[in-house]
Amino acid sequence: MANSVVEQSGNKTYRAWVLGLSFTALAMLGVGVWMASLIVGPAQPWLGPAFLVSMGLAAVVGASKTSSA
């Protein structure tokens, strides 16, 4: 899982990692909600900006699998 990155390192590094990740996670959620505010009505993941974000998700999931290869 995500926070296993530095769980073996010192407390300070671990705290910095958790804080950084939490902040970035909230920022990403905020960006998602902000993008939603630009869309009229429910998002349609088969077209427009929601489709682009869907493509990004597919790329991230596919690239992640490289680490398991």
Partner 1 sequence: MILVILPLGKEAKQVVDWAVRVAMYTAGSTLGAALLALVLGLIGKALHALLPFIGYELPVAALGVAALAFALHELNIVKLPTPEMGWQVPKSWQRSSRLAGQTLYGIVLGMGIFTFIPFAGFYVLLALEMVVGAVDLRAAVALGMVYGFMRGLPAVLGGISMLRGQFPIPLSNWLIAHLGWWHALNALALLLFGGLLLGSFLL
Task: Return residues touching partner 1 (CB under 8 A).
Answer: 1-6, 21, 24-25, 28-37, 39, 41-47, 49-51, 53-69
Smaller CB separation from partner 1, 12 or 28 = 28
Smallest separation (angstroms) from partner 1 to the CB of 12: 17
Work out how close the CB of 20 gets to partner 1 at its nearest, in angstroms, rounded to a whole number: 9
Q: How many residues in the chain?
A: 69
- Among residues 66, 67, 40, 34, the alpha carbon closest in space to that of 53 is found at 34
- Work out how close the CB of 62 gets to partner 1 at its nearest, in angstroms, rounded to a whole number: 3
Give alpha helix (H) positions in 6-68: 11-37, 48-64
| Alpha-carbon separation of residue 18 from 51, 60, 63 (angstroms) | 30, 21, 23
